[in-house]
Each structure stands twice: as C-alpha cells, then as structure tokens.
C-alpha cells in the first residue's frame, strides 16, 4: 500500500507553529513535522503525548544509584573491609561521589539509547529528509492527502496564510523502511562489523606481546619517579642519609618513658613516685591481669601466688610468696619497677608486657593478696 | 514617563510592610539594649543577606549581558530593582563592623605568628586593613551596579543599541572583579568569625547560596508582579521555565559545593578543619544542619524536576519560598554557632530582625522599581524576549 503525502516548507518558527495549529483545527491529518532544532511548543501544537523519556532517565538513575550504593556497601563492609584512615566500614560520605557518577553515567547512556531505540535510529539507517533545507533553517509539515477534510484548494490557502516557501507532493511506500533501504542498512552494518573485526584482530596481532623484550613503557614518569629510596645516600641532607631520624625527644604512640635505673634504690623511689593510671580494684584490670599472670608469672609464682609454680617445684629457687609481710607492704610503684626491671633472679618483663598490662597484673596480684588476707598469719602453710 | 504609562509600577506598598519594618527596627533597637550578644551577630547576618540579594541581582544581569541571554530582557527590571538592596545591606554591614569589631575575635587579640598562625594571615587580619577592604568591595560593587542600571534606564528613552554593548563590556569587567573580590569578602566577613578555621571552597559556597537565594527571590517577585499587574502579558510560562531551570541548577550546584566542603573535611579529619562541623553538630544544631540540606536542595530538586512544575506559578513560588527559608537557615548556620556554641537560641530578636530585613528588602525593591518602567522599553532585544513564549 502506498500513501500520498503533501509537504509544505516554511521559513520561520512562528509560521510552522501557526500552520500546525491551524491544520489541526481544520481536521487535517498532520503526519509529522521536520525541523532543524527543537521548537518550543511544537509538541503541544501537534498534540503529542508527553515523552516518556524523562521516566527512563529518572528510573535508571534511581536503579543506578541504589545498585552502586549497595555494591559499595557490599565491597567495603561485607566482602573485603579495608581500614581507610580509621573511618568506619560503612562510610556514606565516601560512597556518595562514586554513586553520583554511576547514577549520571547509567541514566545518561540509557536515555540516549532509549531515545535512539524509540526514534528507530541506528548506524546505516537511511535519512528520511523531505527537503534539503530542513537540516539548515527551514521547517516542513507533512499532511496526509486523504480523509474527508482534505481539499487541495483550502490547503493551498492555509499554506499561503503562513507564507509557504515550497510545496511538494510525494508518493511514499507504506512499508517503511522499504525493502531496499532495509537491505542496504543490513549490508552497511555487516560491512562495518567486518571492518571492525578485521581492525581489532589486526591491532591485536600488531601489538602482540614479545616475551623476549621488556614491556614498552608509555609515560614512565608515574612509575619511575625521580626520588631517593629509603637507604640510598642523599646529598641534600648534611648527614648524607635519605632516611630521617625522629626529632630528638620523640615518643612513640602509647609509650610513656619512665626515668629509673634498674637498682633497688630506684625501685624504692618508684614506689614513692609512681601511681597506677587507674584504680587497681577495677574489675576489668583484674580480669586482664589474670590472663597476663597465667601467661607470664604463674610458671614461678604459682597459681595463687605462693611461689609454688612448676618451675619452682622442679628445683629453681622459689620466689617469695606474694602474701609475706614484705611484699604486702611494697608500694604499687615498686611492684611496677620490679615487673619492669626484674629483681634478684626474676628477669625484666619490660619487653614482654606493655605498661598497661604491667599495671593490670599488679591489680591481679593485689587481688590474690586480698583473697588470702584472712589466713595471713599462716603465710607459709 | 508618559509614553510608557502602561509599564509604570502600579503596585501599592502593602500596609503590613510598614508594620514589619517597625517590628524589625524595634526588635533590633531593643535587642541591642537587652540582648546585645544575640542581636549584633543577627544584624551582621541580616546585612550580609540583604547585600547578597542586591549582589545576586547585579550578577544575574551581568551574566545575561555577557552570555547574550535575550530571554530575560523582559524581566530585567526585577533584578535591576533588587540591586538597590546592595548599598543598603552594605551600609548595615559597615555599621556593624565599625560599631562592634569584637564580633571578630581576632580584632582584639591577635595571636602571635609563633602560636601557629601563618604570617600572612597575621598581616591580613588587621582591623584597619579589614575596614579598608570592606569599603573597597562595597564601593566597587555598588559603582558597577549603578553604572549598569543607569545605562539600562537611559536606553528607555534613547533606545541606543550602543548602550547594550557598553553594558556587556561593563558586565564582563564586573564578573571578573566580582569573582575575585566576593571570594575574599566572604573570607573576611564570614570565615574570619572563626579565625583559626579555613576552607578554600568557602567563597564558592557563599556565592552558590547567595545566587540561589537571589534567583528564588527573583522568581517570587516576577510571579507576584505578573499576578499584580505590571508584568501581566509580558511574562509567560517560558520565562518561568527558564527561571525554574536556573533555580534547579543552582540548588544542585549549592548541594554539590556544600557536599564537596563537607566530604573533604570529613575525609581528611584534621582537627583544625573539623572544628567547623563539630560546632554545627552539637545538640539542637544537628536537626538544623540536616534541615538545611532538605530546604536548599532535596525539596526544590524533586519539586522542580518536572517541566510543568517549573512553569506553574504557584509551584515555582512555593519552591522558591522553601529556598528562601533555606537561605536564612544556611546563613544562620554559617554565622551563629561561633557566638551561640551549644546554647542554641532563636527567639524574638532573631525572628524580628529577619522579618525586618525581609520587609526592608521589599521596601527598597519597590522604591527602586517605581523609578523606571517595569519593562526595559528601549532594549533592542525586548521583542525577542516576548517572542519566547510564542
């Protein structure tokens, strides 16, 4: 089946808007309007339904944002938590930029593809241009030359009222795109695909890796930065070293230096000066101290502090029980000095125990003393 | 003015405006006596806001001239009249800075550079230099605003297209100078309220809020004057659509800049930078902090997304009113925490001064709008601007 179409060419935006409105008022069937750019108000004049494209844009944006947010949550919290600057795993502000980018990318691309799909545009599609000037500065209305309302004379007068530039009549095949153009477009597409395939294969062959050669480096400045490695000599510093030493007096995090010698006099001095950083009857300190005691002290001092640990039982000189008068009267600070530097046959534990654990174990030692306080008279049972 | 009688502003000054002006003046005067610690920062805020609306008007006109935007010619008298708020707000700002320098902690006690202050900051924040800068910014902006508006009004009688070219050149110069000076001005007037804190994006952040507020005010005024008569038949859905798009874009721009500042400070987590947000996340402030994002972006974004909503005068003004509320809140969050700390307070002084500033803006706007036809009748592009709505 074929269709007779009348094309009217107009020179201005106001004319095309006017002629479209007038034609629709006279019940003429307006098939389409061609214009070089989007004309404001034309879709209303044509009585078109509002485009559904914004919904594609909005929904895909929503889906893109939600999926990306979920993906970031899953990678950063569930699958592979990585500590970044001490931030919580689930750090929403850090997820926002990427979520935003993915949202814009997915909605932008899908809107363009949806537009191409709706308008049936694809590579090789034959352009359907009713008048060459429609790609420049003219506007074209397409009217169906049938129907009760169509009267050539009246249409002519209508066109002239809006300063028509040219009128053209054309017989158009109903089955559009025509068989010939469809075949053409399929052939063009196939050729394009073959060229693409050959090009890709050719490039792959040309750029094939040569295992006897080092990889080619493109812009190597990023990998090979001009810099001094940590242990290389360095002419820029007076001492000729690259690695800098900490500023004199630097204290490592969590360390508080104590200024005592490993002597009994200093142990007594520490007893006067050093105070525990927390209350020694603190439940949690005693609990932690019990663990430390079991790991480091029990072997000699025994499970209850009586100096009957397995090492002592096998003949190593036994330490005095913790419940003797002398030990009971020792100040906490002196204990700390003894745990830190050792005393008599007891070695130093500064290397094994953090200062906090030393205080914890003292808290436990005090707890042991309290537990056996009532029968203090029979210290050596 | 007889040949253009039909374009004269026939809108009476609403009676309630005088009441609001009196309320504002009264609460400012009483507040200065009874609660000076709360009133002075509010006066600074109100002057800055007023000046911002005027400045937004100049920036809008200048952008239109430089970009060759002809759609806005028909509504250009609105931003032109808004520029009258620039000198008024500027005088207020100057008065506050002169009479109450102690608002700026650095003005009385400036720590020595040895206390961790950069030498440059030390030199920059000296009171006489600060006053001189304030004066220079305000004078330069007002001079440009006056020159552009005068040429536009001159065109009403001469219709000389050369005036359009002259204004385009003036506008280009103004935009460059404005970009550099407003950035510094926001550092001086607002950021130095917390002198140890710094954020290099602060100038753009201030600009985005200022321009967004200005556009929202413009949309409300355009719709009001269309309803009330003087712009009826001149302004169409196309003008509202374009204004709505600008508001939509700058609301999103504000959000983008707000978030950029927030995220970088959150990420780097430097104590000297996070202090700003910690002061705004205390009790009471958190709610306002979140509300700010909703008023300035979330609500306008979703309301103004469909095209029909941007063209609908009622929806456009409602969204603009939300943004104006958000503008007040944004400024409140910018100015008040250093003074209030956790003692959040909003009462009669704050509300009275805000209402007074609002009334003063309308009053100044109407007075300026009466001085010229409501449409630039001599502009060669006026016809094209009418054409926009078909």
Beta-carbon contacts of A381 under 8 Å, excluding residues fewer than 6 positions away, are A306, A375
**Predicted pLDDT of residue B1:** 38
Average pLDDT over residues B319-346: 88
d(CA B298, CA B55): 25
**Predicted pLDDT of residue B2:** 40
Does B122 score more than 90 pLDDT?
no
Does B390 score more than 60 pLDDT?
no
- Mean pLDDT is lowest, of A219-228, B74-83, B217-226, for A219-228
- Tell me whether residues B267 and A93 touch, CB distance under 8 A: yes
Average pLDDT over residues B285-302: 94
User: Quick one: how far is CA B63 from the chain centroid?
Assistant: 16
pLDDT band at B3 (very low <50, low <70, confident <90, very high): very low
- Tell me whether residues B259 and A96 touch, CB distance under 8 A: yes
| Cα of B73 to nearest chain A Cα, Å | 18
**Predicted pLDDT of residue B79:** 96
Q: Which residue has the higher pLDDT, B181 or A125?
A: B181
d(CA B147, CA B161): 16
- Taking CA atoms, what residue in B is nearest to A15? B390
The predicted-structure confidence for B33-64, as pLDDT tens digits, reads as follows: 888 888 999 999 999 999 999 999 999 999 99
- Tell me whether residues B390 and A96 touch, CB distance under 8 A: no
- Taking CA atoms, what residue in A is nearest to B262? A93
- Taking CA atoms, what residue in B is nearest to A13? B390
Q: For testing the chain B interface, which of A85, A93, A99 should be mutated: the one with the most B CBs within 10 Å? A: A93
**Predicted pLDDT of residue B272:** 86
Beta bridge partners of A7: A142, A168
Q: Which residues of B touch A40 (CB under 8 A)?
A: 238, 388, 390
Assess contact for A323 and A224: CB atoms under 8 A: no
Quickly count: other Cβ atoms within 10 Å of residue B83's Cβ.
27
Whether ipTM exceeds 0.85:
no
Count of pairs with CB atoms under 8 A, one residue in A, one in B: 23
Does B177 score more than 90 pLDDT?
yes
Q: Which residues of A touch B387 (CB under 8 A)?
A: 14
Q: Which residues of A touch B238 (CB under 8 A)?
A: 40
pLDDT band at B319 (very low <50, low <70, confident <90, very high): very high
**Predicted pLDDT of residue A44:** 85
Tokens coding A164: 């028509």
Does B331 score more than 90 pLDDT?
yes
**Predicted pLDDT of residue A130:** 81
- Tell me whether residues A40 and B259 touch, CB distance under 8 A: no
Q: For testing the chain B interface, which of A12, A13, A20, A40 should be mutated: the one with the most B CBs within 10 Å? A: A40
Q: Which residue has the higher pLDDT, B250 or B111?
A: B250
**Predicted pLDDT of residue B89:** 96
pLDDT band at B170 (very low <50, low <70, confident <90, very high): very high
Assess contact for B40 and B32: CB atoms under 8 A: yes
- Tell me whether residues A94 and B267 touch, CB distance under 8 A: yes
- Tell me whether residues B390 and A17 touch, CB distance under 8 A: yes
Low-confidence stretches of chain A (pLDDT < 70) are: 1-2, 147-149, 173-184, 254, 373-381
Tokens coding B191: 């950021």
Assess contact for A99 and A72: CB atoms under 8 A: yes
Does B367 score more than 70 pLDDT?
yes
**Predicted pLDDT of residue B189:** 95
Query: Nearest CA to B88 among B21, B12, B29?
Result: B21
Query: Nearest CA to B56 among B251, B212, B202, B256?
Result: B212
Average pLDDT over residues B220-224: 94
| Cα of A81 to nearest chain B Cα, Å | 17
pLDDT band at B123 (very low <50, low <70, confident <90, very high): confident
Task: Show which residues on chain B lie within 8 Å of chain A, measured between beta carbons.
Answer: 238, 259, 262-263, 266-267, 269, 305-306, 387-388, 390
**Predicted pLDDT of residue A175:** 52
Q: Which residues of A touch B390 (CB under 8 A)?
A: 14, 17, 40-41
φ/ψ of A3, rounded to 5, equals -135, 135
Average pLDDT over residues B67-87: 93
**Predicted pLDDT of residue B341:** 67
Tokens coding A190: 């196939």
The dihedral region occupied by A125, where left means phi > 0, alpha psi between -120 and 50, and beta the remainder, is: beta
For residue B120, give the DSSP letter. Answer: H
φ/ψ of A142, rounded to 5, equals -115, 120
Q: HEC profile for chain A?
A: CEEEEEEEEECCHHHHHHHHHHHHHCCCCEEEEECCCCCCCHHHHHCCCCCCHHHHHHHHHHHHHHHHHHHHHHHHHHHCCCCCCCCCCCCHHHHHHHHHHHHHHHHHHHHHHHHHHHCCCCCCCCCCCCCHHHHCCCEEEEEECCCCCCCHHHHHHHHHHCCEEEEEEEEEECCCCCHHHHHHHHHHHHHHHHHHHHHHHHHHHHCCCCCCCCCCCCCCCCCCCCCCCCCCECCCCCCCECCCCCCCCCCCCCCCCCCCCCCHHHHHHHHHHCCCCCCCCCHHHHHHHHHHHHHHHHHHHCCCCCCCCHHHHCCCCCCCCCCCHHHHHCCHHHHHHHHHHCECCECCCCCCCCHHHHHHHHHHHHHHHHHCCHHHHHCCC
Task: Show which residues on chain A lie within 8 Å of chain B, measured between beta carbons.
Answer: 14, 17, 40-41, 54, 58, 85-87, 93-94, 96-97
d(CA A183, CA A175): 14
**Predicted pLDDT of residue B195:** 87
d(CA B305, CA A240): 64
Tokens coding A158: 């209508």
- Tell me whether residues B306 and A85 touch, CB distance under 8 A: no
Does B101 score more than 80 pLDDT?
yes
Query: Nearest CA to B95 among B39, B179, B140?
Result: B39
Considering only CB atoms, A40 lies closest to which of B263, B266, B390, namely B390
- Tell me whether residues B267 and A85 touch, CB distance under 8 A: yes
């Amino acid at each position: 089946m074929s269709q007779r179409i009348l094309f009217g060419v107009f020179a201005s935006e106001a004319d095309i808007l006017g002629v479209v409105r007038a034609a629709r008022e006279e019940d003429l069937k307006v098939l389409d309007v061609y214009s070089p750019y989007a004309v404001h108000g034309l879709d209303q004049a044509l009585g078109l339904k509002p485009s559904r494209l914004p919904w594609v844009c909005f929904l895909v944006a929503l889906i893109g944002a939600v999926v990306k947010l979920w993906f970031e949550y899953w990678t950063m919290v569930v699958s592979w938590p990585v500590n970044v600057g001490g931030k919580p795993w689930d750090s929403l502000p850090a997820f926002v930029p990427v979520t935003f980018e993915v949202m814009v990318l997915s909605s932008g691309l899908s809107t363009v593809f949806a537009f191409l799909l709706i308008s049936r545009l694809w590579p090789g599609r034959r352009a359907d241009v009713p008048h060459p000037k429609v790609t420049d500065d003219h506007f074209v209305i397409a009217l169906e030359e049938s129907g009760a309302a169509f009267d050539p004379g009246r249409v002519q007068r209508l066109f002239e009222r809006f300063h028509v530039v040219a009128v053209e009549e054309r017989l158009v095949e109903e089955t559009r795109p025509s068989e010939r153009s469809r075949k053409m477009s399929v052939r063009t597409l196939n050729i394009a695909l073959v060229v693409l395939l050959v090009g890709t294969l050719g490039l792959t062959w040309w750029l094939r890796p040569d295992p006897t050669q080092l990889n080619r480096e493109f812009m190597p400045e990023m990998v090979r930065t001009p810099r001094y490695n940590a242990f290389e000599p360095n002419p820029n510093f007076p001492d000729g070293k690259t690695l800098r030493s900490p500023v004199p007096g630097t204290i490592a995090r969590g360390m508080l230096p104590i200024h005592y010698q490993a002597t009994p006099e200093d142990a007594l001095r520490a007893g006067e000066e050093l105070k525990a950083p927390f209350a020694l009857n603190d439940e949690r300190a005693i609990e932690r101290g019990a663990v430390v005691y079991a790991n480091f002290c029990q072997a000699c001092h025994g499970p209850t502090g009586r100096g009957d640990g397995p090492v002592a039982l096998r003949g190593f000189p036994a330490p005095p029980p913790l419940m003797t008068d002398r030990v009971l009267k020792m100040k906490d600070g002196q204990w700390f000095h003894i745990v830190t530097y050792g005393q008599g046959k007891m070695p130093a534990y500064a290397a094994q125990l953090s200062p906090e654990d030393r205080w914890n174990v003292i808290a436990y030692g005090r707890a042991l003393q309290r537990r056996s306080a009532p029968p203090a008279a029979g210290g050596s049972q | 003015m007889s040949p253009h009688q039909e374009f004269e502003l026939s809108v009476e000054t609403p009676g309630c405006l005088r009441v609001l002006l009196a309320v504002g003046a009264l609460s400012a005067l009483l507040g200065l006596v009874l609660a000076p610690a709360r009133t002075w920062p509010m006066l600074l805020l109100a002057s800055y806001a007023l000046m911002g609306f005027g400045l937004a008007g100049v920036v809008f006109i200048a952008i239109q001239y430089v970009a060759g935007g002809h759609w806005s010619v028909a509504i250009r008298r609105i931003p032109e009249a808004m520029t009258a708020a620039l000198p008024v707000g500027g005088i207020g700002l100057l008065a506050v800075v002169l009479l109450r320098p102690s608002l700026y902690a650095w003005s009385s006690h400036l720590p020595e550079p040895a206390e961790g202050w950069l030498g440059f900051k030390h030199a920059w924040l000296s009171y006489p230099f600060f006053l001189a800068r304030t004066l220079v910014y305000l004078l330069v902006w007002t001079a440009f605003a006056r020159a552009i508006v005068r040429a536009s009004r001159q065109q009403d009688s001469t219709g000389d297209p050369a005036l359009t070219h002259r204004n385009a050149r003036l506008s280009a110069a103004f935009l460059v100078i404005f970009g550099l000076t407003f950035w510094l001005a926001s550092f001086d007037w607002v950021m130095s309220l917390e002198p140890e804190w710094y954020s290099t994006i602060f100038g753009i952040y201030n600009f985005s809020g200022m321009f967004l507020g200005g556009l929202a005010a413009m949309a409300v005024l355009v719709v009001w004057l269309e309803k009330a008569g003087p712009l009826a038949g001149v302004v169409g859905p196309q003008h509202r659509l374009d204004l709505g798009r600008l508001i939509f874009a700058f609301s999103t721009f504000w959000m983008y800049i707000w978030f950029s500042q927030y995220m970088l400070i959150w990420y780097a987590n430097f104590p000297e930078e996070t202090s700003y947000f910690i002061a705004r996340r205390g009790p009471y402030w958190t709610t306002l902090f979140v509300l700010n994002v909703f008023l300035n972006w979330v609500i306008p974004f979703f309301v103004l997304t469909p095209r029909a909503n941007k063209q609908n005068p009622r929806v456009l003004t409602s969204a603009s009113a939300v943004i104006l509320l958000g503008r007040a809140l944004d400024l409140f969050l910018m100015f008040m925490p250093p003074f209030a700390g956790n003692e959040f307070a909003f009462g009669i002084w704050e509300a009275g001064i805000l209402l007074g500033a609002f009334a003063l803006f309308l009053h100044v706007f109407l007075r300026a709008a009466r001085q010229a036809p409501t449409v630039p009748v001599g502009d060669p592009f006026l016809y094209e601007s009418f054409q926009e709505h078909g």
